[in-house]
Structure 1
Amino acid sequence: MAKYTLLLLAIFGINNTVNAQEDKYLWLEEVDGEKALSFVNEQNKATFDKLSKEKDYQSIYDQCLAIFNSSERIAYPSINGNYVYNFWKDKNHERGIWRRCLLTDYKSGKLNWETLLDIDELSKKDNKKWVFKGASGLHPTYTKFLISLSNGGGDATIIREFDVDKKAFIKDGFQTEEAKGWASYVDENTIAIATNFGEKTMTDSGYPRLAKLWKRGTSLDSAQLIYEGKKEDVGVWCGVYHDGSKTYTYVSRAITIFNSEKLFWHNNQMVSLDIPLDADINSLLNDQLIVTLKSDWKVENSTFKSGTLISLTLSELLKGKKSIKTIIVPDEFSSVDGVATTKNKVLINMLSNVTNKLFVFSFDGEKWQSKQVKAPEYGTIGIITTDDTSDEYFFNFQNFITPSTLFAADAKENTLKEVKSLPAFFDASKYEVKQYKAKSKDGTLVPYFLVAAKNLKTDGNNPTLIYAYGGFGSSSQPYYASAVGVSWLDKGGVYVLANIRGGGEFGPNWHQAGLKEKRQNVFDDLYAVSEDVIAKKITSSKHLGVMGGSNGGLLVGVAFTQRPELYNAIVCEVPLLDMQRYNKLLAGASWMGEYGNPDIPEEWEYIKKYSPYQNLKAEMNYPEVFFTTSTRDDRVHPGHARKMVAKMNDMGYKTFYYENMEGGHAGASTNEQTAKIDALIYSYLLKKLK
């Protein structure tokens, strides 16, 4: 056993052995190990055999699959030149097709789609389970694209160059081996690329640390090195900004997940921009670099507050000079949710009390001026795509009971028109949405949305599901959840979306209130929302469940180990759970800026207080937890969920477990796989909470 443990230490690059030999489940971290996969298959079979026999399983599966495959779905556009591009999956295209139609036809409703690449056919030809991961085009002609493909849905991809007019991959074109990396055209014969260039070119987090310029017709090994990061960095990202006729190659050296050095390749040398490490570059327009501040920034006699959106004159910044203009200063209940540019305008999507308002900003050379877009209210707005040759753009609107609707708009004229709306996949007229605030342990008011039947009886017996995330500054916003509608609301369930700290709903401070040693605030916020819906007699612990994925999987893992009496169902998806070893597994080291470093005793001191894997106890009344993950998740290691289930089962606790064999961190690659997992999850929830 000792010899086997040492082998695992070598395989997974463990550089500390604290408690490693005490963990008898390390073998489950061997992703494709025979013994590990045997465990997975056994658990999968037991879960599927049990939950697929529940009375609602088949109807949920059928309804969800019909929704996911519906021809009435919106074909969301991506404008590249004269065309709109779209990726589409349905019952005839399980893995999807990449297609295009003329922008003029799309706007007029004449969807004359031209299929460019059939991923199902390519998968059969290559004998791979390809998953389309996006395409980056050659500006401004867009005759060539760099297509990213993942085998099984993980983050690691191959990149192949594609000719859209010939509908074929380019022989001897740009092509990479599988790696976590990225590439963008600088010009027709040059790409900026960060990838695995060979031994010792990746960071501890598994991302590239070198950025290069690669010329067509030359080997990748001979590409020009323009930047080299450090092994302990999170990674080096590179890309291209277009500003009118000018093209800028940029590099971002992520020191932590939240702090990065921003650099531009200018006059054949790398120039580091003198802006805060924790600031985010959003866009570039007419020499104005748009930046969101994540902390107060004092420049000479002025202080720009955290959360403020500013612009800096790039040509001056590259010379070491700062010419700064304030664009917008959010208040304590709002934040910048998105920034995009058209040919002449800047679109700014603001989040206010967790619903969106969209603005068009113009710069007159001295100051920024704005006009609000007359978009629908009390929901979520998403900027879908913009046209850099005009001021036209598309945005989407949705909320819990309003089907997603696509709008075409003109930023110059400040006009809009509806293009297409989803059909009502469930009868939303029966439901209403309310927003409440719960008081957390430290007195902070935490908002949450509640979706329930209009005639809801407050008798404490309603099956209620809380969904929460609470991390990385990611906001949880209202959305038209058709699968939730048919699988949960129509079955008598109540749905709650909790806007707990750790997210970005109210700007950087809301996120930072849940970082590292403050993590317990995030968990306490969830408990406050849970206790509030119980106090309102909407539900009771017997009928209350909570769901979360990834960081949200950690959240719900903590919830059932800290407060098992509060819940009767837990859906823990693609989770982090072993927080003593998370930084040793896959991309885990990149998240130490969020959670802390467990190898530093002072930081492990607060992490160990909540780490679910280490805090499992015998003879507790834990709910029967449902864990899900994916074998091909190369972001959050499937070993987290595997080890937790094995440990709980050996302690005598009943669990459900389902590991999809592909799908990456998304958990599924096809509509059929997604429908199956949804059917399993909602069958479990109905079984436990009704």
Structure 2
Amino acid sequence: MTRTLLLAACSALTLSACASMSDADAGAAANAAAAAAAAAAAMAADQAATPPGMPADLSPAAVAAADPYIWLEDVRGARSMAFVEQQNARTAARLEQDPRYEQFRQEALAIFSAQDRIPTPELLGGMVYNFWQDAEHPRGVWRRTSEASYRSGNPQWETVLDIDALAQAEGKDLFYKGADCLAPDETRCLISLSEGGGDTVEVREFDTQAKAFVQGGFHLAPGKHRLDWESQDTILAAYAGEGSVLTESGYPFTVKRLRRGQTWDQGEVVYAGDQSDGGYGVYSTVYRDGEGRPLATIFSRPLDTYRQETWRLTETGPVKLNLPARLNVFGVIGDRLIFQNDEAWTLGGKTYAAGTIIAAPLSALEGAATDASRDFTVFAPTDRQGLDGVAVLEGSIVAVLYDNVRGGLVRFSRNGDRWMRTDLIPHDNISVHLVDSSRGSGTVLFSTEGLLTPPTLMGANVDTGQVQAIAQAPARFDASTHVVEQFEAVSSDGTRIPYFLARPRSMTLDGSTPTILYGYGGFQVSKPSIYVPEMGKIWLERGGAYVIANIRGGGEFGPRWHQDVLRERRQLAFDDYAAVAQDLIDRGVTSPDHLGIYGRSNGGVLTSVFVNQHPDLIDAAVIESPLIDMLRYHEMPAGASWIGEYGDPRVPGDAAFISRYSAYQNLRPDADLPEVYITTNTGDDRVHPGHARKYAARLAEQGHDYLLYEDTSGGHSYDADPRANARRWARHYVYLSQRLMD
């Protein structure tokens, strides 16, 4: 027995007792002491391995009890807003006093309010409508012109609704959030207006001929409603206003038929889900032909973020359709429902692979016998293809199809049970976006763009296949100094992850190029190569590089690319992002001192986790409108609607895998983190501002460098006011310039 162990054994005894111990007793005492020391060391190691913000009990009550900053979830509480005011003053002093701020702000505002932007067209009643914001109309005007005038290049606009004037007249902070107009005339519209710019909207009936709200017309008080016209005197509404019973996500689960003049309480229930439903609430869609005649009324009842039941309204009531739980319904042609299955599905003995566009008879979906030899496939993508927008017309389907994240536009025309494919534009290193379509005229409007290529608005006639350019956006920055390349990184499981890099032509591969790495990775949202004019003007023109990472979680390669990282597999999306960052460094494009990351919303999960897991790879992080406290995200509206994506923290097994990455609980005071810049919005009713606030408070508690700025007006989309948007981007790029260029 060593002297150290003997002394350790004796330390717990009196000296006299130690002196009288036999060798055997002393040995036993020493062994006990050694075991105790080992246990203490193991406990210390466990404590060191467990971040101080991680509760030992992951039950919702214990997580809440262990959270010292839960008071910051009180959106407009006096204590919360005092915290916001203090943080904003500190951040503004740092960023808005920088000499570059005003120049960046002016450059961004000039882009956002430029008079020569392409007015985004909306085809309504034979006219072209557009919602327009500029320096004189920061809230915007809804206006219209003829199709001929629009195509002339110098359209003569007629104002239909002036939101600035409306807000001033009513003394409210109103913002336009869209219009739903009744086909075929499309002169009666349900206008959605948001007070503050969030997702909660008031709905009012509007007459575009009289250019006025309809006296005594349809009206829904503020809420996250789901609605559609059934006829000129009836609407189908899922109401989420005051007094309605909602799901835990804050969405409606009951559809009523409201006749003109009826209140919600007087409406007739035509379909009802359940208060325990997940996702974004039940909604109804009336699919019509080119003459405005109803073809089918479909109810979608979400069970969680991605699974749903699909019902058809018949004369005897709703009938549940035999459809996959994961799907996207696009429309109706004749007696056929056009949809994409996001999981393998069998009908009439034939199995359709996930991601297929299918045109199946409604009768077969309602239970009628189907010949096993019949194949209702319209198109089945390959493993490296993905759909990103589908328009259903009278006898054709038009789809945006990405092949290795390179966009194209294709038409499918029906020939009996077979569908013939025609490529309307070839696949190239660009992105393609459907803008609008007119079933009556067979017109599809779409745009093309790339990281260095300004948008071009184009029109296609689906009957003839003729494609014509309508308008070309002017360049907002000098792109001649840069090139775009596509590379692949290898993730932790061997999967190849594509990414686009816009970099200076003269770049030397010495790791000195200031580089922003953008990522999202969720909700099957694809992130192709797009034109970001303010980024090009403020960042690329000053010698920076910009990267779009096509990590899993998006829809670049169809449903599989998304589902590979759902729930307990989420870490793979984070690994994908890290693989791209490391690949940029390995290629010599940039280095940790010059690499920053940017993500917003679900991208806030990504970037906040990256900061914890790979702080050595970056020197800056812009974390905007983020989800960060993933053990409580379901408690903050509308978080529970995303349980299908992340898992349910109330379920012990789910809480266990979420806790392994949730950035709020996994912060460590001894970690060497870069300074991060967190932004959010008080009026964001989609992603709660408490995430950003609490993260900042814990960073401060642990002594990490950070900046927090919270806009006090507007919503999640940051589309309410171009002036506020310009200030937002100016702060972003000042921070990134300070960290990566100075």
TM range (shorter): over 0.9
CA contact (8 A) 1:27 1:36 kept: yes
Which residue is equivalent to 1:367?
Answer: 418
1:664 partner SS: coil
1:268 to partner: Cα distance? 4.1
CA distance in 2, matches of 1:182, 1:201: 14
Q: Give how far 1:46 is off.
A: 1.0
Residue by residue over 1:70-91, the C-alpha shift from the partner in whole angstroms, topping out at 9 and shown as x without a partner, is 0110011111121111100000
Give the aligned residue type for 2:716.
Answer: H
Cα distance 1:88–1:200, how it changes in 2: closer, same or farther (>3 A)?
Answer: closer
Matching residue within 168, 181, 184 for 2:225 = 181
Give the TM-score of the pair, scaled to structure 2. Answer: 0.89
Distance between the aligned counterparts of 1:423 and 1:678, measured in 2? Answer: 21
**Does the aligned pair in 2 maintain the 1:587–1:636 contact within 8 Å?**
yes
Match of 1:39 in 2: 83
**Paired residue for 1:263?**
311
The superposition leaves residues 363-387 of structure 1 with CA deviations (integer Å, 9 ceiling, x where unpaired) of 1222111211035732011111111
- The 5 Å alignment of 1:159-170 reads 159-170=203-214
1:210-251 Cα offsets, whole Å, 9 max, x none, are 111100022221111011111121221122211343343221
Give 3-state SS (helix, strand or coil) of 2:109's partner: helix
1:594 matches 2:642: no
Map of 1:85 onto structure 2: 129
Quote the RMSD (CA, aligned, Å).
1.5
CA separation of 1:528/1:545 partners in 2, compared to 1, >3 Å: closer, same or farther? same
CA contact under 8 A between 1:343 and 1:387: conserved in structure 2? no
C-alpha contact (below 8 Å) 2:638/2:687 kept by paired residues:
yes
Task: Identify the residue that residue 158 of structure 1 maps to in structure 2.
Answer: 202
Matches within 5 A, 1:407-418: 407-418=458-469
Alpha-carbon distance between aligned partners in 1 of 2:471 and 2:244, rounded to the nearest angstrom = 50
Stretches of structure 1 that go unaligned for 5 or more consecutive residues are 1-13
Encode CA deviations 1:259-292: one digit per residue, 9 max, x unaligned: 0111121114001111101121122222221111
Shift of 1:57: 1.3
**Displacement, 1:321?**
4.8
How has the CA–CA distance of structure 1 residues 662 and 368 changed in structure 2, closer, same or farther, with 3 Å as cutoff? same
Change (3 A) 1:527 1:250: same
Among 642, 652, 675, which residue is 2:726 paired with? 675
Supply the AA of the counterpart residue of 2:328: D
Q: Which residue of 2 aligns with 1:115?
A: 159
Count of residue pairs the alignment pairs up: 677
**What secondary structure does 2:376 align onto?**
strand
Find the structure with the greater CA-based Rg.
2
Q: Contact 1:137 / 1:145 at 8 angstroms: preserved in 2?
A: yes
Between stretches 309-318 and 218-227, larger displacement belongs to 309-318
What is the 5 A alignment of 1:92-241?
Answer: 92-196=136-240, 199=243, 201-234=245-278, 235-241=281-287
Out of 505, 524, 530, the position equivalent to 1:473 is: 524
2:61 aligned partner? 17
Describe how 1:536-615 pairs up with structure 2 within 5 A: 536-615=587-666
Alignment map for 1:378-417 (pairs within 5 Å): 378-417=429-468
Aligned twin of 1:278: 326
Alignment of 1:486-525 (within 5 A): 486-525=537-576
Superposed CA offset, 1:417-472 (max 9, x none): 21111111111111100000001111111000100111111111111110000011
- 2:288 maps to a residue whose letter is H
Distance 1:366 1:648 in 2: 60
- 1:178 CA drift (Å): 0.5
Q: Secondary structure at the match of 2:185?
A: coil
> How much has 1:502 moved relative to structure 2?
0.9
Q: Which segment is superposed worse, 244-253 or 531-540? A: 244-253
Which amino acid letter does the alignment assign opposite residue 82 of structure 2?
Answer: S
Cα deviation code 1:572-630 (max 9, x no counterpart): 00001111110011011111111111111111111000000000111221111100111
Work out whether residues 482 and 504 of structure 2, in 8 Å CA contact, stay in contact via their aligned partners in 1. yes
Q: Using a 3 Å threshold, how does the CA distance of structure 1 residues 294 and 82 change in structure 2: closer, same or farther?
A: same
Cα distance in 2 between the residues matched to 1:163 and 1:474: 35
Partner of 2:10: none
Are the structure 2 counterparts of residues 668 and 29 from structure 1 closer, same or farther at C-alpha, using a change threshold of 3 Å? farther
Partner SS, residue 405 of structure 1: strand
**How far, CA to CA, are the matches of 2:196 and 2:313 in structure 1?**
35
Cα distance in 2, alignment partners of residues 153 and 545 from structure 1: 29
Are residue 291 (structure 1) and residue 339 (structure 2) matched? yes
SS in 1 for 2:61: coil
Cα distance in 2 for partners of 1:337, 1:91 equals: 33
Judge conservation of contact 1:192–1:249 (CA < 8 Å) in 2. Answer: no
Q: Greater CA deviation, 80-89 or 281-290? A: 281-290
- Any idea what SS the aligned residue of 1:438 has? strand
Q: Give the gaps of 5 or more residues in structure 2.
A: 1-57
| Cα distance in 2, alignment partners of residues 138 and 374 from structure 1 | 32
Quote the residue 1:344 is aligned against.
395
Q: Which amino acid aligns with 1:645?
A: A
Q: Matches of 2:580 and 2:59 in 1, distance apart?
A: 40
Hey, what's the Cα distance between the residues in 2 that align with 1:320 and 1:133? 41
Identity over aligned residues, as a percent?
39
- Corresponding residue of 1:306: 354
Conserved? CA contact 2:375–2:417, under 8 Å? no
CA contact (8 A) 1:516 1:594 kept: yes
- 3-state DSSP class of the match of 1:18? helix
2: CA distance between counterparts of 1:682 and 1:101? 37
What does 1:618-629 align with in structure 2 at a 5 Å threshold?
Answer: 618-629=669-680
Q: Equivalents in 2 of 1:472, 1:321: separation in Å?
A: 35
On the 8 A contact 1:144/1:162 being kept in 2, the answer is yes
**Partner Cα distance (2:459, 2:408) in 1:** 16
Does structure 1 retain, via aligned residues, the 8 Å contact 2:226–2:282?
A: no
State the alpha-carbon separation in 1 of the partners of residues 497 and 79 from structure 2: 45
1:490–1:497 CA distance, 2 compared to 1 (3 A): same
Aligned residue among 536, 550, 560 for 1:485: 536
Separation in structure 1 between the aligned mates of residue 613 and residue 696 of structure 2, nearest angstrom: 17
1:296, 1:393 → 2: CA distance?
30
Deviation at 1:15, TM superposition (A): 9.7
